[in-house]
Amino acid sequence: MTISEFIKKYNLHDSLIESIDYDKNNCTVRINIDFCYWQQEYYTDDMQETGEIQIIFSKVSKFDCVPVEINCDGIIDVRQTEDNEMYLEFLNDKTEECHSLTIAAESVSVSSIQEPTKGDISSLK
């Protein structure tokens, strides 16, 4: 999916960043997140509230992030800044410092995401 589609589909606010891995040689960025399912439009009470997911950005042409130690940093802002570019701001609860990253990529994929069950589309919009 594109970055625009990703931002429309998933709400990352309050999710926690576990790690960020930039592979310059393969032009990929992998972000492991403790994802807030309860923040999603499709969330229902029988789903888990949080769970780990991995977001994979492929064909990355820009990765702008000051190296910082990630320790379950909370995501406070996500927005599209260019056609294929995303800005993400996160807060370290221990140091109370805000950090940000900007990623430009051709595509985004998500693994280990809990979607609603087949017959349950009542909460989808």
Mean pLDDT by 10 residues, the chain (125 residues): 96 95 96 95 92 97 89 93 94 90 97 60 36
pLDDT at 116: 54
- Model-level pTM? 0.86
Beta bridge partners of 101: 65, 88
Sign of CA dihedral 84, 104, 60, 73: negative
Distance CA 58, CA 79 (A): 18
Q: How far is CA 103 from CA 6, 43, 58, in A?
A: 13, 27, 10
pLDDT at 114: 67
pLDDT at 103: 97
